[in-house]
Amino acid sequence: MYRSLWRAGLEVIPNTVPHGTMPFVGGYAVEDVVGGFSHPYDTPRLVERLNADWYDLAVSSGLFDHRREFLVKLPQGTRTHRNLLQHMHSGSDAPPVWTRVRLLQRWDIMGRGAASAFLGVHAGHPGFGMMALDSSVYIVASTGEVVSMCSRSGTRTGRRGFWPGQSRRAESGWHR
């Protein structure tokens, strides 16, 4: 798994997830969405556009720390994102875990990363969750009829982070 992430431009920093990190993001309110975008699959140069927009969103929302480090949610063991989706509601699989990574100078999250099967299903079809080290920002990427991504700020909770159970779906307002 580490080699696949390295090819995508992510250096894994093992066993360094900050103490107190939220174990999962269970919901959000519309007012917590601070940015996002979506692109249809027939967008020219889709992977290039997705990479540029992901980076802009990550920088503007504060995903990276000063070393360009953040957390990415990965399936436990050697399961892939596709396998995780197939067994998500079975109740028998281990939940995904946060892994600390550093964005390298050369990266391709939406191409090689999504094609790695750990950050999506194939190039241009990402599926992942990423979070700032202080749990203040969460970025989710999903694929359906379009590729979409949104960034959420967790500062409304009184402490920096997200909480389960309070969710309303953001239907609009975060597309570019």
Tokens representing 50 are: 């997705």
Contact of 30 with 168, CB cutoff 8 Å: yes
Q: Per-residue pLDDT tens, the chain, 176 aa: give them.
A: 688 999 999 999 998 988 878 776 666 667 778 788 889 999 999 999 999 999 999 999 999 999 999 999 987 655 555 555 555 555 555 667 899 999 999 999 999 999 988 898 899 999 899 999 998 888 988 887 677 777 776 544 333 443 333 333 333 233 33
Beta bridge partners of 165: none
CB 40 within 8 A of CB 73: no
The amino acid occupying position 18 is P
Phi, psi of 164 (to 5 degrees): -80, 155
Neighbouring C-beta atoms of residue 33, cutoff 10 Å: 16
pTM score = 0.76
